[in-house]
Amino acid sequence: MHRIFKRLQKITLILFLLSSTILFAQNVNLKFIETSDVHGAILPYDLVNDTTMNSSLAQVYTYVEKERQKKDQHVILMDAGDILQGDPLVYYYNYEDTSSKHIYAEAMNFMKYDVATVGNHDIETGHNVYDKFRTELNFPWLAANAINIETGKPYFQPYFIIEKDGIKIAILGMITPAIPNWLPEKIWKGIEFEDMIETAKKWVKIINEKEKPDLLIGLFHSGVDYTYGGQTKDSYRNENASRLVAEQVPGFDIVFVGHDHAGWNFKTVNVNGDSVLIVGPKARARTISVANVSMNYNSNLHKWEKEYIAGETIQTSDYEPDAGFMKNFKSQLDIVSRYVSKPLGIIDKTLSAKESLFGPSLFVDLIQTFQLATTDADVSLASPLSFSAEIDSGEIYVGDMFKLYRYENFLYTISLTGKEIKDYLEFSFGNWFNQMSSSNDHLLNFKKDENGNLIYSGQNHSPRLAQVYYNFSSAAGINYTVDVTKPAGERVNVTSSSDGTPFDLVKAYKVAINSYRGNGGGGHLTRGANIDKSELAKRIITSTDKDLRYYMMKWIEKKKVITPQIIGNWKIIPEDWWKKGKEKDYKLLFGNSAE
């Protein structure tokens, strides 16, 4: 009997030790899934061009559900902002149907997102939209550096804690602080956007002291290249500070990024010598960024330790849209399909954005004509907001307006002197065109390597422009030439106003301009015309209450028939060099000859 009792004791001890070992040698796998810059691509339909797409949240959901079914991991679904702009689906629920629950809130709730961060294009929709939207989400919408001026506290929730199998995960959200450079104050009134590095230092300390997390995650609507737009690592309130935060603020294990649409998956090292994974997806749900984390419990130290952290990029096109998701949002799709199919009037010429990259075009001059007709401005400044969109002649529909005018900018009338207008144009054409030394040179200013060879895009295998096309700004209301044989800063010769009066460098002119540019976007007014950023708001004479596209639609409806014309107020010289350079570069970018 005694022998049996001793044996039972031994077995009990062994079982206890085994159970303890199992408990304290516990391994937990975490899969963080990030979307960012989806820009309204909820469903795999291009409502503007009436075609299907191979990327959308419907496909993201298929991947997410597949991963959720795996029993050996926990899935955390996150988004890093810019969701409420860029597609008729979200535009309709931003501005047309403002009483229903927003379709994007419904989509994210359906997908069971855990957490998200606010993006600059979400703020662009205005207080009425994003203040309502945040109340419709079933999860936190973060932005620690967006500060409520009245309270001094974050306007949005700063961070969020998630626990999985005893592992405490802290997620800190931040938004790019450059919003005042692009958007009118009434859109973000009452909010101040603070420097990301300073904010991260503050909140990492708070989180570590209060929460003592096992993992610290950054979920930032900000890009990786901190030199973008001529900034440096020392630039205060840097637009793209995600990498700077990862490297300069110790504590982060993973930083999820957005805003730059570039697609990232790499590791860097912070000031303490610790490795930090940086990942971020491409826009419109073309890719999904994933961080796979394995955690082990150290029973001796009584803490969770990171066994490994690795990034992964998922191609959304590899997955079919989820049938349940598609069915759930069919009624909203039908509503918005009818909306974009509404005819506005007749346009009797085909418009191509491609032509606007090389000089005067019907595409941009239609915008210029509208801006001058809608305001009492003397001069209009406008850029192509599409790289290759076309609008066919015939009936023009609401959906076509998203090709013609891509963003929800307001229309300003501002005051600029003649010299400031000229300097603005010098800045634009200095970035836009190459300095040609012969007719065989490139017309456009392309990016080049250290050997002077063109740098090609890995995505579409065409040469990369030195400046983004939507910064190619030209003017109407004045007559001028652009001499591409001269260096940047010496190319523009303004001869007269369109009414025939001499152009006066000292005189103050009323200028029609979109709110992005009027608030300093692209640097044309700040770096080009040398107007201090703090002075720009004082230059605004009038502003529309709704976005520019809305007024364009009303203008077309009123006119009924639109006849686009080249205004003919500016040209590029020498003209034979321009024509030859245009033909050469058109083939490089688009593969066929310019008409």
* Residue partners of 117: CB distance under 8 A and separation at least 6: 78, 79, 80, 81, 141, 142, 143, 173, 174, 175, 219, 220, 221, 258
pLDDT of 10 reads 55
Distance CA 323, CA 308 (A): 35
Question: Of the residues 313, 336, 359, which one is the last residue of a structural domain?
Answer: 336
Buried b (16+ CB within 10 A) or exposed e, 480-506: bebbbebeeeebbebeebbeeeebeee
Residue 237 CA, distance from chain mean position: 17
8 domain-assigned: no
The H or E element that residue 192 is part of is strand 191-193
Q: Are residues 237 and 304 in the same domain?
A: yes
Q: Are residues 316 and 355 in the same domain?
A: no
- Which has the closest alpha carbon to 518: 537, 495, 498, 542? 537
The H or E element that residue 216 is part of is strand 215-221
Q: Are residues 263 and 364 in the same domain?
A: no
* Residue partners of 432: CB distance under 8 A and separation at least 6: 444, 445, 467, 471, 472
- Between helix 103-111 and helix 127-136 the angle, nearest 10°, is 30
Question: What are phi and psi for residue 130, nearest 5 degrees?
Answer: -75, -25
478 domain-assigned: yes
Q: Are residues 479 and 516 in the same domain?
A: yes
Distance CA 339, CA 90 (A): 12
For the record, the structure tokens of 441 come out as 């040179």
> Can the peptide bond before residue 574 be classed as cis, meaning omega within 30 degrees of 0?
yes
11 domain-assigned: no
Question: Of the residues 286, 304, 336, which one is the last residue of a structural domain?
Answer: 336
For 506-543, the pLDDT digits (tens) are: 999 999 999 999 999 999 999 999 999 889 989 999 99
For the record, the structure tokens of 296 come out as 């082990």
- List the CATH number of the domain containing 557: 3.90.780.10
* Residue partners of 125: CB distance under 8 A and separation at least 6: 84, 85, 94, 133, 187, 408
Q: Are residues 300 and 374 in the same domain?
A: no
pLDDT tens for each residue of the chain, 595 residues long? 555 545 545 555 444 444 444 444 489 999 999 999 999 999 999 999 889 999 999 999 999 999 999 999 999 999 999 999 999 999 999 999 999 999 999 999 999 999 999 999 999 999 999 999 999 999 999 999 999 999 999 999 999 999 999 999 999 999 999 999 888 888 999 999 999 999 999 999 999 999 999 999 999 999 999 998 789 999 999 999 999 999 999 999 999 999 999 999 999 999 999 999 999 999 999 999 999 999 999 989 899 999 999 999 999 999 999 999 999 999 999 999 999 999 999 999 999 999 999 999 999 999 999 999 999 999 999 999 999 999 999 999 999 999 989 888 999 999 999 999 999 999 999 999 999 999 999 999 999 999 889 999 866 678 999 999 999 999 999 999 999 999 999 999 999 999 999 999 999 999 999 999 999 999 999 999 999 988 998 999 999 988 899 999 999 999 999 999 999 999 999 999 999 999 999 999 998 755 5
**Cα–Cα distances in Å, from 139 out to 77, 291, 399?**
11, 20, 32
Distance CA 173, CA 267 (A): 20
Strand order in the sheet with 561-562: 394-397, 343-347, 561-562
262 domain-assigned: yes
Q: Are residues 312 and 455 in the same domain?
A: no
- List the CATH number of the domain containing 147: 3.60.21.10
Q: Are residues 282 and 412 in the same domain?
A: no
Question: Of the residues 288, 304, 336, which one is the last residue of a structural domain?
Answer: 336
Q: Where are the beta strands (DSSP E) in 285-335?
A: 287-298, 303-315
Residue 73, Cβ neighbours under 10 Å: how many?
15
- pTM of the predicted model, to two decimals? 0.86
The H or E element that residue 89 is part of is helix 88-91
Q: Are residues 332 and 377 in the same domain?
A: no
**Domain ranges, residue 157:** 39-336
**Cα–Cα distances in Å, from 181 out to 186, 234, 516, 517?**
13, 18, 8, 9
How many structural domains does the chain have? 2
Q: Are residues 322 and 402 in the same domain?
A: no
Q: Are residues 253 and 151 in the same domain?
A: yes
Q: Are residues 307 and 454 in the same domain?
A: no
Half-sphere exposure of 430 (CA within 13 A, CB side): 16
Q: Are residues 348 and 276 in the same domain?
A: no
* Residue partners of 32: CB distance under 8 A and separation at least 6: 76, 78, 217, 254, 256, 290, 291, 292, 293
**Cα–Cα distances in Å, from 508 out to 79, 257, 414, 419?**
45, 43, 10, 9
- Which has the closest alpha carbon to 522: 416, 430, 427, 389? 427
Distance CA 257, CA 117 (A): 10
Distance CA 189, CA 127 (A): 8
134 domain-assigned: yes
Distance CA 354, CA 589 (A): 9
539 domain-assigned: yes
